[in-house]
Structures are given as C-alpha cells and as structure tokens.
A and B are shown apart, each in its own frame.
Chain A
C-alpha cells in the first residue's frame, strides 16, 4: 500500500524529506554527474541494471520494486519516484521535475545552515551534458559550481574539453575557490602528478582529508587525443600511500571523492585501508543507503549519488577520540516543486541561457511516448536516435554509445533542440557510417559487453551496452568474454561473419573520424529526421536483446 508520504502533497512531503536532524560534528554534502543540467528535468531511473559475479543482486544492481524492498522505501512515495522507474509517468506528474541548480542551491543552503563547516564535494561529469555547456566550453557550469559553493571536485567528462581547457579552469576560474583533486592522473612521460592528490580541511576542529580519483578509464571510454599527455588508471597502491600520508599528517576523517563507478569503488574499498567513506559517481547509481565494506583497516562506507542534479548526498560523521564513531547518510532527491528556486542561482542561469534561449527552445516535434535513456541495453530515447540514424544515413544497423547521461521526456511533450542536445552534446559527437563485417560487429558487441559484465569490476568501464538498431541478438551476461553474444540477426536472417553491413553510429573515439568527408554532428542528423516527421514522433519501441542466463534478477523489472 501507500507509505507515510503516500497521501501527502508535495510540499508537506518535502518538508519531512528535507527536515533531517543534525548528527555528529563533521558533514559532507555530495553531488555528482549532474551532466550540466542547470534546469529541472525529468529523469527515469533504469529498469535494467544487472550485476554479475559477486555483484549479483547487490546494490547498486537492484532496481524498481526490488530496490524499494531492499531500501525499505514506501511505494508511491517521493523516494520511490526518485530512486526507481516504478510508475514513472504517473509519479512524474505527481511529484514534478527533479534537479535544477537553483533548487539544489536552496537545498544546499538549508543543509549548510544546520551543519556549520560542511563541505560540498562535486564528483565530476559537471561540465558536459547540455547545449550550453558545450557552447560555452563548460563556462556556465564552472560559474554555477562556484556560486553553488563547491569546495572540492574531481572529473571525467571534464577532460573531453581538452587538457588545456581543464588546466585553464583549474588554475584561473577555480583559484582560491574550488580544489580539483585526482591522485590517479599523471603525465604520460615521467608520471608526474597533474593535479593535487588530496586536500586537507579542518571541520569544527577535526582535521579531514579529501582525496580525489578521476575516472580511471578516461582515455579509453573517451577519445585519447583529448588527454594525450596524461595517463589515468586505478592505481590503488598509490591510493593507499596517499591515504597513509593524510593519516600521518593527522587526518581523523579521510574521504575519497571518486569517479570510479560504484562496482570499482566497492572493490577498492576492500583493498585500500583507512578510508572512512568513498563518495562515488560515474555509474549514476542513485543509492538511498550507504554500503558498508570491511577491509583490513576497518570499515569503509561506499555511496553513489545518482545523476543529472537529481540528488544531494548528506553524510554526517560523529568524530570523537580522533576517529569516526558513527554516521548517518541520506541521499536526498531534489524535487524542484518542493524547493523554491534560489534567486541568485536562478539569475545566473537566466543570464547564461539568455543568448541561447531561442535556439534551445526550438520545437522539433512532439513525442507520443516516454523517452528515456538509462538501462543496461537500450532506452526509448536512444531508440529514437537509432531510428533517425538508420533512416537518414540509409544504414541497416545503427550503434549508439551506452552513455548514462541524457534526460527523459513524458508522453505529449515537445522535443526541443535542448532535449536533443541533452542526449547528444559531446565534443566528438560526429555521426559516422561505415561498412562492417558480421565478424567485426560481433567483436564490437563482445568488447563492449565485457566492459559492462566482466566479473572483475576493475575490468569494467562503467557505461551501458552499446544500443543497437536493426540488429537482434541474444545476450548472456554470465558467459565468458567472446561468448556472450549469440544469434545475431537482421530481419530474421542470421548475420554472416564475412558479409559487409552498413552501420551508422556516433561519438567515435578514433581521431580520424572527425576528418571523414561530409561528417556532421549527430544532432543535425536526428534533427533532419525529426523534422521529416511533420510534428509527431510515435512512441518508440526499444530494440532489446533476448537475455539468457540472468533472469529473474533483482537488477531487472519489466517496466513495459
């Protein structure tokens, strides 16, 4: 039945949601993966997020009703709306849009007022994901983060603006305001550190260290040419050295601001001693509870704060006798209807958007169905991109990268250029067309599938499976590398290894792709398709692989 917030109106529910008692003496607020969403948006959580190996059925690989049960969240509540895809359209209409920096700013101020000295940490993927962030080279987000009062950040998509731009922001815009920390980014020649590995801050008399871990696989998941002079990696032996160094300097609380992705964080927490909490991001897992991991040095809490500006993590530590004695953790959904917009932040957002408003708001079509991206295999929003690519490029098959950013739309809403850019805005979103052999297609699918389902998290990259248009296949996530993809078919006929197929795609990591004759950004291709629909786009049916070996699974609900 309905829980205790079930019948309450949004405002009342919000007061209860945000009125959390102060606990302890050291607090950290955590945002991550906002993907440049300054405005309130819709965001549907995944119905498929499968865990393999030791991660089977463990957080974060629990979705829908299974997650409600696991985290003891009442169905129909604001939390059920925020944390799961359950009854998404209905809940969205009831609780309203999520996120928005002006609403987030109000919540941050409210929490900081009750938690003097609290630090605000930003886990990265902040400067990419919207048209304005792309067009201003991240400047809108840099200014918004400064105004929000971010104290420390690390990064991932930030690096796709290129090394020079990142260093310019860190050295100039952030000087004296925001520290950028990343112990695992080194120069490619002699391995010198590029950023500070950590910063020390005293909170209410307690010395605290905040270490940074940038996304370890940036040069693999994104084009290497953006970071050609730098090298990344997980480097947990060096992480251990840094933790020990902060402890020897007197840190009583050591936290890691991580962009590893949650499975990697959970493994790292078993291997590195002396970290009190890992505040994680990258995999966009909005986890209502902290996971406690035991290691030889004690216990480490692992959290993950979702994406798209939808959540604010609040970690309160009770520090006495030189160490953390107890904690309280909450991941608060940012419900924009329940939190008034902060006037100053709203003014900044209005100002940065002003030159682009007309372009952003341009109506391309109306969608009859819900559009969303998130999920291991496909979403209706990606299906729209795939359908557009196949039609416009005259391709038999289309691939769309398994990105986890991108916002949702409700049935009957207008597809604006802004939404299209929310789904596609990167610095390398070139649309590609190529001939690929059946063998190569299989190799690509197997390669990406292993990056998602390798039983060892250190061999995963934290994205979702490449979305596939036209081609049907069966996927067994539990099979070994090279054997997960079977029964590939096109229009019912088996794919032939040596036959060539015309394949469309976008966002290639190879540098040559941008020099292909007539190459254009994917949003132009999709826009052309949307305009050809004369106003209305029918509901998309996501092309999903047939799953073998893994069902039933707490990481899977049939959400229609």
Chain B
C-alpha cells in the first residue's frame, strides 16, 4: 500500500480502529492509567482540525510515546521514539472529527502501556456573554 522507507511505517498501528489494537502493534499490553504520563490538550478545541496535543513522561524505561484520539476513524495520531538525546516530551497538533477522549500513552521496554487521558470537546460554537 505504501512505498518502502528506511523507517518502515507501522501500518498495523496506524490502521488499527481501536486504542488497544494500536497499542498491541507496538507491543503494549492492557493499558493502565498513570500519573507519570502527562497529556496536554485543551478542554474545548478552538478548531477541531487543529488541536494542540502534548505527551510527556517522567518514567525511565519508555520506548515510545503515543498520541491517540479515541473517536477518530484511526485513533493513533503520532508515535515518538524516546531516546537519550531528547526530552520525553513532544507536542503536535491533531485532527478531531468530534468530541472524544484523547490519550497520551507511554510504551515501556517491558511491554507496559501507561496512559493519561482527558476529554476534548469539539463544539459547533456560537453564542457568548
């Protein structure tokens, strides 16, 4: 389906239709909530097409950090590899078609999936005081 790259794009993760299926593709087990993972996202999206999202962790043995939007057709938005050379803290902007829970997930080297989540509201807008 896609041309070959030096870094093979993980089809199984990006084409997964649910959060757990996408996690499996990176070797993550059943997800557990963790206060050592942080998600930065607005409460209400200013524009559903451009929603700022940040993922960070204070955990030591993390392999990947993921940003996911549960109700998107394909929940996985981005995967960042954690290395010695960068802070485990990444920001991007995602698309959202509707209000949804958003996840920041850390996949550890021993196959754990630890997450933080919050609801981001996508509204039709209008009105005001």
Contacts and interface: CB of A to CB of B under 8 A. Distances in A.
Taking the complex as a whole, does A directly touch B, i.e. does some CB pair lie under 8 Å apart?
yes
Interface of A: 33, 125, 156-157, 188, 215, 217, 219-222, 224, 231-234, 261, 282-284, 401-405, 443-444, 447-448, 450-451, 454, 456, 458-459, 461-464, 466, 481, 507-509
B86 interface: no
Size range of the chain B interface in the assembly: 10 to 19
B127 interface: yes
Given A219-B47, A231-B46, A234-B43, A447 B128 contact: no
A291 B59 CA distance: 40
Contact of B127 (A157, A224, A458, A461): A461
Interface stretch (B6-14, B28-36, B64-72, B118-126): B118-126
Contact of A507 (B50, B126, B129): B126
30 contacts: A156-B129, A219-B46, A220-B44, A220-B125, A221-B128, A231-B46, A233-B46, A282-B129, A284-B129, A401-B126, A401-B127, A401-B128, A403-B129, A404-B128, A404-B129, A405-B129, A447-B124, A448-B126, A451-B127, A454-B121, A456-B43, A459-B121, A461-B127, A463-B126, A463-B129, A464-B127, A464-B129, A466-B127, A509-B124, A509-B126
A224 B46 contact: yes
A217 B125 CA distance: 9
B42 interface: yes
A402 to B, nearest CB: 4
A217 B128 CA distance: 9
Nearest to A221: B128
B127 A402 contact: yes
Contacts of A232: 46
A287 B127 CA distance: 22
A379 to B, nearest CB: 14
A261 B129 contact: yes
B114 to A, nearest CB: 21
B121 A221 contact: no
B100 to A, nearest CB: 12
B129 A508 contact: no
Nearest to A447: B124
A53 to B, nearest CB: 15
B58 to A, nearest CB: 16
Contacts of A125: 129
A389 to B, nearest CB: 15
Given A224-B125, A261-B129, A284-B129, 8 more contacts: A188-B50, A220-B45, A282-B129, A401-B126, A451-B123, A454-B121, A461-B128, A462-B129
Nearest to B126: A509
Contacts of B43: 234, 456, 458-459
A403 B47 CA distance: 21
B120 to A, nearest CB: 10
A156 B42 contact: no
A461 B42 CA distance: 13
B126 A283 contact: no
Nearest to A264: B43
Interface in B41-81: 42-47, 50, 52
Given A220-B123, A447-B123, A403 B128 contact: yes
Contacts of B52: 231
A463 B46 contact: no
A221 B46 contact: no
B126 A233 contact: no
A217 B47 contact: no
Contacts of A450: 121, 123
Contacts of B50: 188
3 shortest interchain CB distances as A-B pairs: A463-B127, A221-B128, A404-B129
A549 B42 CA distance: 30
Nearest to A463: B127
A52 B126 CA distance: 21
Nearest to B50: A188
B94 to A, nearest CB: 14
Contacts of A188: 50
A451 B43 CA distance: 12
A461 B44 contact: yes
Contacts of B125: 220-221, 224, 509
A221 B43 CA distance: 14
A508 B42 contact: no
Given A233-B42, A459-B121, A221 B126 contact: yes
